[in-house]
Every structure is written in structure tokens, then in C-alpha cells.
Amino acid sequence: MCIGKQLNKSEEIDGGNVDASVVSKLPEITREELKSHNHPSNAWCAVHNQVLDISKFARRHPGGDLILLAAGSDATVLFETYHPRGVPASLVNKLKIGELRKSEQFESYYSWNSAFYPTLKKRVVEKVESNKLSRRGGDGSIMVKGLFFMFAFWYCLYQMCVSSFNDSLKWSVAMGFFASFIGTCIQHDGNHGAFSNYRWLNKAAGWTLDMIGASGFTWEIQHMLGHHPYTNVLDCEERELQEKSIDRPLFEKDQECDPDVFSSFPLLRMHPAQEPSWYQQYQHMYAPFLFALMTVAKVLQQDFELVFSKRLYHIDATCRYGSKWNVARFWFMKVLTMAYMIGLPVYFHSSLLKGCALFLVGHFSCGEMLATMFIVNHVIEGVAFGTKNHARDRKKEVVEKIVYRPKTVEGMTPMIETRSAALDKSKSIEEVPLNDWAAVQCQTSVNWSSGSWFWNHFSGGLSHQIGKYSSIVNR
Ligand SMILES: [Zn+2]
């Protein structure tokens, strides 16, 4: 295997044909200026510290308006990870309007200086094409599965209303399960733009999250801007400022941090760099009860917090809610879903208490199912965690400074073990940075129930987070 070719900086940016005279004439742009261009009609983003104006291009973007999620931010990870076939350098040069001021450039957790990830993407594309598979939507089974889950959800809701209260509780549990499968099998693909080759169908699939009561916009912000780009990465500096109740302006905040590992802290400790509390030693016992609250907290609290504050933790949501249509969609779907998920059960059972109880029971089963599926992907024995900025010991002394190496709880880096095992077989393997983006994904995620037909389909593919490293090395 030969994946060790080092890319130079210009190749990293846009495929290798950067016009040097264009780059040198570009004006310097501050982070504050970049952050202020975070509106759908006035959107800039940074890719490898080059600033692009994407306002007009958003209408022609093959992936639709997903590109606007990057407005005002460092979009390097999104740029690199959403384009398996790359982006033409000529297009990037056309959009380029400046360069971030040298002293304010983003210092990433990741290294893009190896051919590992580009090679991996190339091989995945080749594999998909050689098997005559569609990059989106698969072979149509996703449609059959999607329609089945939609029918099952509505049928359970109907039975929940017309059955006796005792039976309704069972239908409510079933409705929660099917809602969780709508989450993993329809909306997840739709909002990622991967449900279908048709843009409108991806939008419709994304809306199914709103149909079950949660805002697709909150999901996009947390999942696509926080979790995927920075899986299991914690920004310790930001964490320390939060503990001191210091809230810096958004443009000064580091965005390389995964909300999934800190959003339930201090109730649950999901990252080894977080300061432990005495009660967290029992979290393996009480966490399953808290999992049940996951979706109800999103639907009744986080969605509203985000639409009012236009931010989620360190992530700016101004661009998504800068469109009046998006704000209208949020409120319309909230009112509508509350009407049929709470209003109808209240009406049919002639009791506010019973109606609310059925709504909550449905959410408990949905939250339990989803959180259990998520936790086994990223917070389990053997996975690694990334630490951005400073890792400090309990006396608050810097013990390891800016070493971007993902580590397990035991302090091991899975890739080092894999590399030494692979070197035994072949001395020709060249070094890949431990913090290469794809390498970090492989170290911070694991498969579960690998090979299970049921879980592969019902988890929407979440059970297969990463391929086997050996199958890549042995090519
Ligand atoms: Zn995803």
C-alpha cells in the first residue's frame, strides 16, 4: 500500500491548481469579519484559512443549501469530508475573496498533510462505482424501509389515541421505537443529503425529524457542525472558561469541539479530560435512566433555546435562522407536532394528564433507543478521545500542550498499535499522521453488531461506523 505521499499546502486547499498570483493579491480578513458574514444572502466561510464568498454559489451548490451551515466559520472539515470526488480548483479560486489574517488563522486539531484520507476516499468511490451502487439512496430498499417506518409511526399514534389507556401506553412505547428508526433510517440520511439522488426527496426525508417533533435545524447544527467534524474532540480551554462562566464572543471561540461528549456533563462524564466528580463513578448504573430523557430534552428545551439564542454552545446558528422560511418552518412544525402528539391523545383520552403521560412515554422509549445506539459508537472501551488546546492535570498545571494525538482512557493511541501490527507484515507502509481526519474517525468510532442484517438496516448503518483497517492495509 502506498498512501504516504505528502501533499503540499496548495494541493490541500483545492486540488493542486491554485493561481499563486491570485492568492498573493487577496486582502487579509479578520475572524470577526468572517463571523459577521453569516447570513444566507451574505455568507463567507474559510477553507484552509482562505476565505470564500459562498452567498451566490449556495443556489447552485450540488449539495443544496447545506453549504450555508458553514457561513461565518472554518469550513475546512466540511469541505474536505463532503466532497469524495474533490472540488475543482477553478471553482474554489472563483469564490476566493481573501485570506485570514496570519495571527488569526485557525490552528486545526487535524493534519491534512498525508494522502491517507484522499486515498481512502478514492478507493471508496471506486468500490461504489465498481459495484454499480448509487452514492445516495442505495438500491431502493431505503425507500421501502422508510415508508414502513412512517406507516408504523402513524399507525401506533392512531392506536395510541383510540385504544384503552393501558393499551395506549404499549402503543406509545412502540411509537417511540418507530420514531427512533425514522431518526436513524430516514432523517439522518435525508439531512446528510444521502437519502436520494433527488434534492427535494432529501429535504422531505430531513423533514421527517420535524414530523416526529424535533427540529431538523438543531440536529444539523449539533450533528453536522459539531459531532461529525470533531468526533470525541474536547476543547479543554473552552471547557475551563465555561467553568469560570466566561463567555467569549463567538468569533473568538474555538469551534473544534464535539457537543456529544460535553453536552450531558456534569451529569454524565463522556471524555477523560473532563474533571471527574464522585457520583460519576456510578454513571454506568444511572446513565440508562437519563438516556430516556434525551429526545424530550431536545424537543422541549434545546430546540427553543437555539431558535431564540441562534447559537448552540460554541456553534453559530445565525445563518440557518437568518431565513424567515426556516423560522416559519420551525414554528409551524412545532405547533403541528404538539397538536397531534399531545393534543390528540389529550382529546381522545379526555385527560391532560393521560395525554401528556403518553407523549412522555413515547419520548422515553425513543430516547432510550437512540442514546443506546449512539453511546456504543463513540463512548466505549477501546475508542480514543481527542483533546484540543491544553490538557491539564488536577492541579491545573499544563502537562501536555497541544499534542494532537487521540488517546483511549488508558492513554493508548489505537493507530500506533495498528501501525506496529501492520509493520510486522510489511515494511513498506509509510507514516500517516495520528491526527489525520480519517485516522481520527477510525480511532474515535467503533462498529457494533458488525455483520448483523437487522441492525445494519434498523440503525440506518450506524452499526458500521468504520471499515476494518486491515481491509485497507491489505489491498
Ligand atoms: Zn451523521
Per-residue model confidence as pLDDT tens digits over 270-318: 999 888 999 999 999 999 999 999 999 999 999 999 999 999 988 999 9
Domain range for 379 = 113-475
Cell digits of residue 237: 480551554
Whether residue 17 is predicted with pLDDT greater than 50 in this model: the reply is no
Give me the numbers of helices (H) and strands (E) for the chain, helices first please: 23, 11
Q: What is the CA(86)–ligand 1 centre distance, in A?
A: 20
Q: What is the CA(98)–ligand 1 centre distance, in A?
A: 31
CB contact set of 175 (below 8 Å; sequence gap of 6+): 153, 156, 157, 160, 362, 365
Q: Are residues 81 and 128 in the same domain?
A: no
Whether residue 21 is predicted with pLDDT greater than 90 in this model: the reply is no
Within a domain: 8: no
Q: Are residues 235 and 360 in the same domain?
A: yes
pTM of the model: 0.86
Helix or strand or coil: residue 142?
Answer: helix
Cβ neighbourhood burial of 424 (10 Å; 0-12, 13-18, 19+): exposed
- Phi then psi dihedrals of residue 74, to 5 deg: -80, 110
Of 247 and 101, the one with more pLDDT: 101
Catalogue the E-assigned strands of 304-383.
311-312, 315-316
Q: What is the CA(428)–ligand 1 centre distance, in A?
A: 34
Mean pLDDT of 186-209: 91
Cell digits of residue 7: 501533499
Whether residue 430 is predicted with pLDDT greater than 80 in this model: the reply is no
Q: Which of 59, 88, 106 is the last residue before a domain boundary?
A: 106
Q: Are residues 75 and 216 in the same domain?
A: no
Within a domain: 9: no
Give the chain's domain count. 2
Q: What is the CA(190)–ligand 1 centre distance, in A?
A: 10
| pLDDT band of 260, cuts 50, 70, 90 | very high
pLDDT value of residue 399:
52
Q: What is the CA(192)–ligand 1 centre distance, in A?
A: 7
- Phi then psi dihedrals of residue 99, to 5 deg: -135, 140
CB contact set of 279 (below 8 Å; sequence gap of 6+): none
Q: Are residues 244 and 177 in the same domain?
A: yes
Q: Are residues 368 and 390 in the same domain?
A: yes
Q: What is the CA(389)–ligand 1 centre distance, in A?
A: 25
pLDDT value of residue 89:
92
| pLDDT band of 464, cuts 50, 70, 90 | confident
pLDDT value of residue 469:
39
pLDDT value of residue 402:
57
Cell digits of residue 55: 452567498
Q: Are residues 149 and 175 in the same domain?
A: yes
